[in-house]
Amino acid sequence: MAACPQCGSPVEGEDRFCAACGAAIGPGARRIDLSQPRNLARIAQVVALVGFVLPWITVSCQGRVLAQVSGLDMALGRSTIRNPFTGVSQVHSASPNATIVIALVLILAGLAVSFNFAAARVALANVVACGAALLLIAYEVLVSAGAMVRSQAAGASDDLDRYAQGLRDAVHVGTGFGFWLTCLALVAAIYFSWRSRAGPAPPPV
């Protein structure tokens, strides 16, 4: 007896849909069904991962952009700051940001298990994983990292001590497009994962 490629439940050879999860079986079964919340949750998680390579934090001083830090940069503990006085860019390296690394692992884990277990078994786990990742990312970018990056930007002018305090006050740390894309994608993943708890809609007759 064959098994459903979506949930692993036994199916008959002539079945077009799985009786347990509603997934299409047979020719064309590998086509992504966008009517299924589980598939939409997967897409949202992939979009969230794409957001990691886009700017999460933008550092500017008097209207001039000093640095743009992506989620991946934060995870690796690196940032490139441009000195507004000399125009020289300096790479600052630190220990990997454990909070962002954990958030990234949670998203990857949730995405991985969604391909290997039945929807009913992983929907709540995926909600928890994406929710925890969202909270960790929001805290790190909106609360913790802003002060750290501002300090690094001001430190880029340590050779000009009398201007250092003024520069620190003039530095503005804002959120970038990638941060909001990742957050919105995680919200969407949480929503669609929650909807998938009850299983997909009944297959057409």
Higher-pLDDT residue of 58, 108: 108
95 and 190 fall within a common domain: yes
Query: Is there a domain that residue 130 lies in?
Result: yes
Kindly state whether residue 203 falls inside one of the protein's structural domains: no
Whether the predicted pLDDT of 178 surpasses 80 = yes
Domain that includes residue 68, residue range: 34-198
Is residue 205, in this structure, part of any structural domain at all?
no
pLDDT, residue 188, reads 95
Average pLDDT, stretch 37-43? 88
**Strand stretches in the chain, DSSP E:** 2-3, 10-11, 55-61, 64-70, 78-82, 89-93, 171-175
Query: What CA–CA distance (Å, rounded) separates 139 from 142?
Result: 5
pLDDT value, residue 124: 85
Amino acid identity at 6: Q
- Domain presence at residue 149: yes
* pLDDT reported for residue 29: 47
Tens digit of each residue's pLDDT (9 = 90 or more) over 8-37: 677 776 666 676 766 666 654 455 566 688
> Rounded to whole angstroms, how far apart are CA atoms 74 and 71?
5
Q: Which residues of 135-169 are buried (b: 16+ CB within 10 A; e: fewer)?
A: ebbbebbeeebbebbbebbbebbeeeeeeeeebee
pLDDT at 46: 95
Is the domain of 8 the same as that of 75?
no
In a domain, 120, yes or no: yes
Give the whole-angstrom CA distance, residue 58 versus residue 156.
16
Same domain, 186 and 142: yes
Indicate whether 149 pLDDT > 70.
no
> Is residue 167, in this structure, part of any structural domain at all?
yes
- Considering only residues 64 and 178, tell me which one the structure prediction assigns the higher pLDDT: 178
Residues 194 and 97 in one domain: yes
In this structure, are 125 and 142 located in the same domain? yes
Does 108 reside within a domain?
yes
Domain co-membership, 160 together with 172: yes
- In this structure, the answer to whether residues 152 and 190 fall within a common structural domain is yes
CATH of the domain at 159: 1.20.140
Q: What pLDDT score does 101 carry?
A: 95
pLDDT digit string (tens) for 57-92? 887 777 777 778 899 988 998 877 766 666 677 777
Same domain, 117 and 159: yes
Are the C-beta atoms of 10 and 19 separated by less than 8 Å?
no
Residue 52 within a domain:
yes
The structural domain count of the chain equals 2
| Same domain (yes/no): 23, 76 | no
Residues 47 and 136 in one domain: yes
Q: Residues 132, 58: one domain?
A: yes
Residue 159 pLDDT > 50 = no
Give me the mean pLDDT over the 190-204 stretch: 70
Which residue has 């909807």 as its token pair?
195
Q: Are residues 8 and 61 in the same domain?
A: no
The model's pTM is 0.71
